Amino acid sequence: MTDMTMTNTRATRLRRLNLAGGIITGLTVLGAIIWAFPLYWAVITSLKVEQDVLTPGIQLLPERWTLDNYIHVLTKTQAGIWYLNSLVTSLAVTVIVVLTSAAAGYAISQLRFPGRRLLWWLLLASFMVPIPALIVNHFVLMADFGLLNSWSGVVLPQLIAPVTVIIYKQFFDSVPKDFREAALMDGATQFQLFFRLYLPMNWGITTALAIITFIGAWNQFLWPFLAVTSESKMNITVGITQVYDAFGVRYARDLATAILAGLPLAILYLVFQRRVTQAIMLTAGIKG
């Protein structure tokens, strides 16, 4: 009898668990739909003929499918140049930030030199200054250097990356000192230690940081918007605003432009999903 009661209690508990699990799953799916619907709507609208966009009622699928909006943006605007500008500046920011941050992280973590602690505290303190607060200074500085309307002008202010330095320092700190000593006994130089030991041993974090830096640089809007006025030097994020200006409110074309701007990142994310998540978690942890 007692056994039967226990079995019944267990079954009831399992049913409750199943019910709770079902409700949570349902809510999660609902949340995902709510989140994804605007994205879906944008894609669908960009594949519609402009006249159909303003048709009353909700059309979940286009009546007339067309790629004209995409073809127009790619062939009749400077989107190709904007892509190139974005690619060059984002790659430059990524390579320089990763290399300098890794080198700085290595120096602070592994080398002993006067002012090391001060440098570390300065890095930590730099969190307290929001980047937008520096934007006027950056603008004046770039103008004085004559770097406005240039790739260098877009890139340079984006190279301030204390979070990346801190993450590298923490990872280099965690490398057991035996590795370092084993290499030093064999006569390895600091250069060899950095490039042949510390960087390859932390390749995972380097990939993650490179991806997140690239995404950040690609998505930059405010600074490239201020630093560049010449249409041929614009990044894709700034360039799409020109499409809007030139043709007025044309929803299908505007959304096609926006989707084209975000497409490389979406692909990048899909390919390196795990690394991106890792990097976001790391930077979130540092930023608290």
Partner 1 sequence: MTAAVQFQSVTRHFGPIRAVDGVDLTIAEGAFFAMLGPSGSGKTTCLRLISGFEKPTGGTILIHGQDVSDVPPNRRNVNTVFQDYALFPHMSVRDNVAYGLMVKGVDKRARLDKAEELLSLVKLPSYGDRKPGQLSGGQRQRVALARALINEPRVLLLDEPLGALDLKLREAMQDELKALQKRLGITFVFVTHDQHEALSMADSLAVFNDGKIAQIGTPEDIYARPQTRFVADFVGSSNVLPPALTKALGGPAEWASLRPEVVRLAPSGPKGTVTAVRYLGSGSRVVLRMGDTEIAAFVPAGEAVPEQGTEAAISFAPSALHLMGQV
Interaction site with partner 1 (CB under 8 A)? 176, 178-179, 181-189, 192, 197, 200-201, 203
Minimum CB separation of residue 177 from partner 1 in Å reads 9
Minimum CB separation of residue 105 from partner 1 in Å reads 18
Q: Which is nearer to partner 1, 159 or 188 (CB)?
A: 188
Which residue is associated with the tokens 């960009």? 46
Residue among 260, 224, 223 nearest 131 (CA):
223
Q: Which is nearer to partner 1, 63 or 186 (CB)?
A: 186
Q: Which is nearer to partner 1, 110 or 126 (CB)?
A: 110
Q: Which is nearer to partner 1, 55 or 192 (CB)?
A: 192
Residues 6 or more apart whose CB falls under 8 angstroms from that of 153 comprise 142, 145, 147, 227, 228
Measure the CA–CA gap between 126 and 14, rounded to whole angstroms: 52
Residues 6 or more apart whose CB falls under 8 angstroms from that of 54 comprise 251
Specify whether the backbone of 115 is left (phi greater than 0), alpha (psi in -120 to 50) or beta. left
Beta strand extents in the chain (DSSP E only)? none
Q: Which is nearer to partner 1, 179 or 221 (CB)?
A: 179
Minimum CB separation of residue 98 from partner 1 in Å reads 18
Q: Which is nearer to partner 1, 58 or 185 (CB)?
A: 185
Distance of CA 78 to CAs 82, 189, 236, Å? 6, 48, 9
Q: Which is nearer to partner 1, 65 or 179 (CB)?
A: 179
Q: Which is nearer to partner 1, 193 or 260 (CB)?
A: 193
Residues 6 or more apart whose CB falls under 8 angstroms from that of 223 comprise 135, 138, 154, 157, 158
**What sections of 47-161 are H helices per DSSP?**
50-53, 68-76, 79-110, 116-125, 135-145, 151-155
Minimum CB separation of residue 162 from partner 1 in Å reads 27
Minimum CB separation of residue 95 from partner 1 in Å reads 21
Count the alpha carbons within 13 Å of 164 in the hemisphere toward its beta carbon: 26
How is residue 91 written in tokens?
């790659």
Minimum CB separation of residue 211 from partner 1 in Å reads 20
Measure the CA–CA gap between 280 and 101, rounded to whole angstroms: 17
